[in-house]
Amino acid sequence: MTARRPPAVAFLGLGALGAPMAANLARAGFDLTVHNRTPGPEADLVAAGAEAAASVPAAVAAAGLICLCLSDDAAVQAVLTAAGPALASGSLVVDFSTIAPATSQALAADLAHRGVGYIDAPVTGGTEGARAGTLSVLVGGDRADVERARPLLEVVGQRITHLGPVGAGQQAKAVNQVLVAGSYAAVAEAMALGRRLGLPMALVRDALTAGAAGSWALEHRAANMLEGRYPLGFRLALHRKDLAIALEAAAAVGVEIPLSQLVAAMEDSLLEAGHGDDDVSALARWYAAAAADAALGS
């Protein structure tokens, strides 16, 4: 019996997460067409077996599954508008972007009128997880649509969790970003304290990673904080955008999240200082700046 060929896939948005996710799909044998609004990232994917499309409509025209991994609500809306009638009835949009739950719900309703399915599937796990195919995928949508997308989801992610209807994935991602805010800020604060105490912080970091304070941020980002370098895993500006979604979601249900409000203010100051394209671990810069200000005032 001939093996069933995977459906044709379009992948739009080839940034720090999207490019390695698309590369994993190409390696897995999917018939893949890629497009990025800013040309350039397609070249490596073409070398891996994908086809590059010159426009959004050209990318989606023959695809049964359309993957989006874009920066924000406006970008997702713009790409789907550009796709227009090229989106075939019966196709399914798999949106890996992190956007507001209400935006996902509105997009799903609009696409349904055209016979196109939609699931929100934001991811967590950083660029490391995107490259390794070990992301955690937080999914909202109809069960039939989720199952249709599952072979693709299982290539880009190690854990696929269907959380409810469209929008539930984005709500879970908001919860995730609250945790990211607190954990990164706590690690940055702890590293700043330890350094000021004169401790051998590389040893302290290794010791704490194995204890009750261990976390993904401590294991994967504390060393960079200590070295004062912030190679891109997830951009600070994008996390601030995601944190705004979380703050809005909390306000809508009357939940106070003061730690997230504090981290948002810290990130705002870093954005004003020009660090928006740094990794989120650049929160450590806030403590360095505070220490410098204190030294000048003493």
- At 237-288, the pLDDT tens digits run 999 999 999 999 999 999 999 999 999 999 999 999 999 999 999 999 999 9
Catalytic status, residue 173? yes
CATH architecture assignment, domain 171-297: Orthogonal Bundle (1.10)
CB distance 119 to 145 below 8 Å: yes
Best CA proximity match to 31, nearest among 40, 22, 39, 41 = 22
Beta carbons within 8 Å of 120's beta carbon, 6+ residues apart: 95, 99, 101, 104, 108, 139, 140, 141, 166, 167, 168, 169, 170
Packing angle between helix 258-272 and helix 283-297, nearest 10 degrees?
Answer: 80
**Segments of the chain assigned to CATH 1.10.1040.10:** 171-297
- At 116-150, the pLDDT tens digits run 999 999 999 989 999 999 999 999 999 999 999 99
Q: Which of 148, 173, 205, 235 is catalytic?
A: 173
Please, which pLDDT band fits residue 5 given cuts at 50, 70 and 90? low
**Segments of the chain assigned to CATH 3.40.50.720:** 9-165
- At 152-185, the pLDDT tens digits run 999 999 999 999 999 999 999 999 999 999 999 9
9-165: CATH topology: Rossmann fold (3.40.50)
In whole angstroms, how far apart are CA 271 and each of 3, 156, 267?
51, 30, 6
